Structure 1
Amino acid sequence: MDQKIVIAGAGSIGCFVGGLLTFGGRNVTLLARPAIAEEIAAHGLTLTSLEGWSERIPPDTLDVETDPAAALADAALILVTVKSGATAEMAALIAAHAPAGAAIVILQNGLGNAGTLRSALPVHPVFAGMVSFNIVHQGSGRFHRGTSGPLVIEAGAPPLAVPHLEIVQHEDMTAVLAGKLVYNLNNALNALSGLTLREQLGDRRWRRILAAAQEEALAVFAAEGIVPWSLGKVPVQRFPRILLLPDWLFRLVSRRGVKIDATARSSMWEDLERGRRTEIEELQGAVIARAERLGLGAPVNRAIAVAVKSAEAAGKGSPRLEPTALLAAVS
Structure 2
Amino acid sequence: MEYLEFELPIKELEDQLLKCKIIGEESEVDVTETCANIAKKLTATQKEIYKNLTPWQRVQMSRHPDRPYVLDYIRAICGESFLELHGDRSFKDDKAMIGGLGKIGDQSFMFIGQQKGFNTKTRQYRNFGMANPEGYRKALRLMKSAEKFGIPVVTLIDTPGAFPGLEAEERGQGEAIARNILEMTRLKVPIITIIVGEGASGGALGIGVGDVVLMLENTWYSVISPESCSSILWRSWEFKEQAADALKLTASDMKKQKLVDEIIKEPLGGAHRDREKTFSAVSSAIIKSFEDLKNLSPKDLVTKRMDKYCQMGVFKG
Query: Which structure has the highest helix share of the two?
Result: 2
* TM-score when normalising by structure 2: 0.27
* TM-score when normalising by structure 1: 0.26
Structure with max Cα Rg = 2
